[in-house]
Amino acid sequence: MSFRLRTFVTPITREIVKDKYDVIIVGGGPAGLTAALYCARYGLDVVIITKTIGGLVAEAPLVDDYLGLPEISGNDLVERFTKHVKKYNVPIVIDEVLDVFKREPGDLYWCVKLKNIGSILCSYAIILAVGSEKRKLGVPGENEFLGKGVSYCAICDGPLYRGKDVAVIGGGNSAFTSALFLANLANKVYLIHRRSSFRAFKVYVDAAMNNPKIEILTDTVVKEIIGKEVVEGVKIINLKTNEESFLRVSGIFVEIGLNPPTDFFKKIGIKVDEEGRAVVNIDKSTSLPGIYVVGDAAGGPYKYKLEQIITAAADGAIAADAVSKYVALLKPTIQKK
């Protein structure tokens, strides 16, 4: 397939974008931004396409596990990442990728279709750093009160509940950092977790246990979210005693994990594992030559499950190195066509 190179200006970020690159990176979280940085440093022509910059990290009230930057907010960390990438003049396009495909069988180029711009960009390789979406509780009242007391982002909506009682659902790092953040604003914070042990780092658990505004309810699940026009409380049940009770809160912040974009992967043709994550090799390559997946959405037997900013960044660097070798081998083949 031959290209007649075309350039245009994106309407939102006003970036000058071409329709052909060495590498297209889909996703602007730590994995995607790191992959872009390393691709640029390897001399590859690279573009980032993302719906938002920073991904879920931008929502984090506090990041205290990224080496050299203790107690930094998610927004500030993302700003530093982005500034570093922009130093290499990598265009960042705010848009959504609807599809990843080849224009004809046997074609060596991969292409992406953009939702808002309506354009198609192509490249030798694609790194998918698409992350995952917040998992829902799946209880009555959750969808009805979304934006009316139910939230999946403490840093976004926490200020709306200043001086009120709120609940955080979950037992991982996100749940505990959200609870600690909300304790600075709310009158009282209930942290509700279905188990007696926590996945969160001990430093976060200790801080929450020592915070007089935070009350931790273990072995407890939310059965229903109750209210009229807005959330008025939650019906909870203790799994050990089967005792049901009503907890009066104005806000509920759900932090129970992530769901990978399984349907998107299946649509493209990427093999997924039993959790619906893309099966990746050690170099982050997938079942489709030229397609790489990094970060939260990567899975399979070679993926070590430690969902941290630093491991997502490492994924991006590894994929960029693998892509640089892949493109170096592929370019002479394409240029002869």
**Is 44 in contact with 108 (CB distance < 8 Å)?**
no
Q: How far apart are CA 122 and CA 113, in angstroms?
A: 9
What's at 128, amino acid-wise?
A: L
* Other Cβ atoms closer than 10 A to 2: 5
Q: Is 263 a catalytic residue?
A: no
Q: Is 153 a catalytic residue?
A: yes
Q: Is 39 a catalytic residue?
A: no
CA triple 242-244-247, angle to 5 deg = 140
Catalytic one among 22, 111, 153, 315? 153
Closest CA to 125 of 298, 318, 313, 330: 330
CA dihedral sign, ordered 28, 34, 38, 40: positive
Catalytic one among 76, 99, 156, 206? 156
Write 78-84 long-range contacts (CB < 8 A, 24+): 78/53, 78/54, 81/30, 81/33, 81/34, 81/54, 82/33, 82/53, 82/54, 84/33, 84/37
Catalytic one among 22, 95, 157, 315? 157
Closest CA to 47 of 90, 82, 108, 88: 90
Show Cβ contacts of residue 328 under 8 Å, excluding neighbours closer than 6 positions: none
DSSP 72-132: B-HHHHHHHHHHHHHTTT--EEE--EEEEE-SSTT-S-EEEEETTT--EEEEEEEEE----
User: What is the C-alpha R_g of the chain?
Assistant: 22
Q: How far apart are CA 172 and CA 255, in angstroms?
A: 8
Closest CA to 125 of 290, 318, 325, 8: 290
Q: What residues are labeled active site?
A: 153, 156-157
